[in-house]
């Protein structure tokens, strides 16, 4: 590991020791991801340094790499994506009490927040106006932007590092850090329990975790998919029923009947077709974040006092709760493990809804770069 001090491009207050890490980055919205070297800070007193073992591929990585969210969070290049990180602790700072070298550890979508605002005090760091996302966000330590988990290591404040239950397989545990918490959190918020009829739209990375959680929470689960070949998988994952969403007759059978629908679709689609399936006071929560705005028919909402909302990831305490829930119920993501060299191919397959049901990068493959 090469250590050096960088003082030229950051204010003197930030002068600190750093080291070089291997990573994969995109250098523009149209370039393929490729091997690179990045700078990470040495662990300061509150920091945990983690050797990354697996990192899931979230569709958000693809949106971000291709600058599809330019209106909300434009991409700064080079961009090192990845926010579904599990690994092993290699070093800890002097004030770290939560972890020691050798421990398993995980990092999700956030690496910091201001810790003082009402949202942080309520344990809802995902709403902190000053949070730091794991990649493509201003890096308070080094300047520039944060770099994510498509890398051999990462250094994160202990308050944003999660514990991984020992019984979970690591490749399948990585996606819990985004796909898991993003589906668990709104289900807890909207009271998904036994006796509720719950719909999951889009059987991808988020959707398949939504099915597992809704089933584990005891709900009657209906999967809506555009891919007829996923029907058997949906049932195996815990769905009670599967509807091919492009079949209007099948959809009509479920009109006015859902308590809650989670929409995890990554592309443009007719959201009104799903709002119309909600019963009185039912809620549809969007977790999918398509590039373009969705058209909402006012009548679909107002006729039965239905509501439409969104939900971003989840707070640190709830993420730990979700991981512990997964430990107790032995829930992990169904993954296709790939070497990092296949990441560009994986992105193309994501666009074709061809993933069962999350790519998880085996970061040992980065050693050969």
Q: Which residues bind ligand NAP (CB under 6 A)?
A: 58-60, 63, 178-179, 182, 202-207, 225-227, 230, 264-267, 269, 287-290, 311-313, 350, 353, 355
User: First CA to last CA across the chain, in angstroms?
Assistant: 15
User: Measured from the CB of residue 335, what is the shortest distance to ligand NAP in angstroms?
Assistant: 12
For residues 67 and 276, which CB has a smaller minimum distance to Zn ion in the complex? Answer: 67
Partner whose binding site includes residue 113, from ligand NAP, Zn ion, none (CB under 5 to 8 Å by kind): Zn ion
Indicate the burial class of 35 (C-beta count within 10 angstroms; 0-12, 13-18, 19 or more).
middle
Question: Which pair of structure tokens corresponds to residue 38?
Answer: 């990045």
How many of the chain's residues bind Zn ion (CB under 5 A)? 8
Distances in Å between the alpha carbon of 347 and those of 72, 102, 238, 291, 339? 21, 32, 26, 16, 13
For residues 212 and 269, which CB has a smaller minimum distance to ligand NAP in the complex? Answer: 269
Contact between 170 and Zn ion per CB under 5 A: no
Out of 36, 60, 158, 185, point to the residue binding Zn ion (CB under 5 A).
60
User: Measured from the CB of residue 85, what is the shortest distance to ligand NAP in angstroms?
Assistant: 14
Within positions 176 to 215, which residues make up the interface with Zn ion, using CB under 5 A?
Answer: 178
Partner whose binding site includes residue 256, from Zn ion, ligand NAP, none (CB under 5 to 8 Å by kind): none
For residues 228 and 339, which CB has a smaller minimum distance to ligand NAP in the complex? Answer: 228
CA dihedral (105, 318, 172, 74) positive or negative: negative
Strand 85-92 relative to strand 47-57: parallel, antiparallel, unpaired? antiparallel
User: Measured from the CB of residue 271, what is the shortest distance to ligand NAP in angstroms?
Assistant: 10
Task: Name the DSSP class of 79.
Answer: B
For residues 48 and 346, which CB has a smaller minimum distance to ligand NAP in the complex? Answer: 346
Rounded-to-integer distance, Cα 162 and Cα 323, Å: 8
User: Measured from the CB of residue 202, what is the shortest distance to ligand NAP in angstroms?
Assistant: 3
Rounded-to-integer distance, Cα 325 and Cα 331, Å: 8
Out of 55, 58, 171, 211, point to the residue binding Zn ion (CB under 5 A).
58
User: Measured from the CB of residue 239, what is the shortest distance to ligand NAP in angstroms?
Assistant: 11
User: Measured from the CB of residue 203, what is the shortest distance to ligand NAP in angstroms?
Assistant: 3
Cβ contact 225:242 at 8 Å: yes
Which range, of 121-129, 211-219, 276-284, 336-344, touches Zn ion by CB under 5 A? Answer: 121-129
Contact between 67 and Zn ion per CB under 5 A: no
Question: Which pair of structure tokens corresponds to residue 270?
Answer: 């007719």
Strand, helix or coil for residue 331: coil
Rounded-to-integer distance, Cα 79 and Cα 281, Å: 42
Out of 113, 136, 151, 266, point to the residue binding Zn ion (CB under 5 A).
113
305: region left, alpha or beta (phi > 0 left; psi from -120 to 50 alpha): left
Query: Is the peptide bond prior to 2 cis by the omega test (within 30 degrees of 0)?
Result: no
Contact between 85 and Zn ion per CB under 5 A: no
Which range, of 67-75, 118-126, 334-342, 358-366, touches Zn ion by CB under 5 A? Answer: 118-126
Rounded-to-integer distance, Cα 333 and Cα 213, Å: 11
Cβ contact 160:137 at 8 Å: no
User: Measured from the CB of residue 181, what is the shortest distance to ligand NAP in angstroms?
Assistant: 8
Residues in contact with Zn ion by CB under 5 A are 58, 60, 113-114, 117, 120, 128, 178
């Amino acid at each position: 590991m090469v250590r050096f001090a960088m003082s030229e491009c950051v204010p003197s207050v930030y002068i600190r020791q750093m080291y070089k890490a291997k990573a994969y980055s995109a250098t523009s919205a149209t370039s393929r991801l490729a091997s690179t070297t990045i700078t990470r800070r040495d662990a300061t007193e509150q920091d945990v340094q983690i050797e990354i073992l697996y990192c899931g591929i979230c569709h958000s990585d693809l949106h971000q790499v291709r600058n599809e969210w330019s209106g909300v969070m434009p991409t700064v290049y080079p961009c090192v994506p990845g926010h579904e990180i599990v690994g092993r602790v290699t070093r800890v700072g002097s004030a770290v009490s939560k972890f020691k070298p050798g421990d398993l550890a995980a990092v999700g979508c956030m690496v910091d927040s201001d810790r003082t605002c009402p949202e942080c005090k309520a344990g809802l760091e995902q709403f902190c106006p000053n949070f730091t996302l794991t990649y493509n966000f201003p890096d308070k330590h080094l300047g520039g932007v944060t770099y994510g988990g498509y890398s051999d290591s990462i250094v994160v404040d202990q308050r944003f590092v999660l514990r991984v239950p020992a019984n979970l397989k690591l490749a399948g545990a990585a996606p819990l850090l985004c796909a898991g918490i993003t589906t668990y959190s709104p289900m807890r918020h909207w009271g998904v329990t036994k006796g509720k009829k719950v719909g999951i739209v889009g059987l991808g990375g988020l959707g398949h975790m939504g099915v597992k959680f809704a089933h584990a929470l005891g709900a009657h689960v209906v999967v809506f998919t555009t891919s007829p070949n996923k029907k058997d998988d949906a049932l195996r994952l815990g769905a009670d029923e599967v509807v091919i969403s492009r079949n209007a007759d099948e959809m009509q059978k479920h009109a006015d009947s859902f308590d809650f629908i989670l929409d995890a679709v990554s592309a443009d689609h007719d959201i009104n077709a799903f709002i119309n399936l909600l019963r009185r006071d039912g809620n549809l929560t969007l977790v999918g974040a398509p590039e373009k705005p969705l058209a909402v028919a006012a009548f679909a909402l107002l006729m039965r006092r239905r509501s439409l909302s969104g939900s971003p990831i989840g707070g640190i305490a709830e993420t730990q709760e979700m991981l512990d829930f997964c430990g107790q119920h032995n829930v992990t993501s169904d993954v296709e493990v790939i070497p990092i060299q296949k990441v560009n191919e994986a992105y193309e397959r994501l666009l074709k809804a061809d993933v069962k049901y999350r790519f998880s990068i085996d970061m040992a493959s980065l050693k050969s770069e």
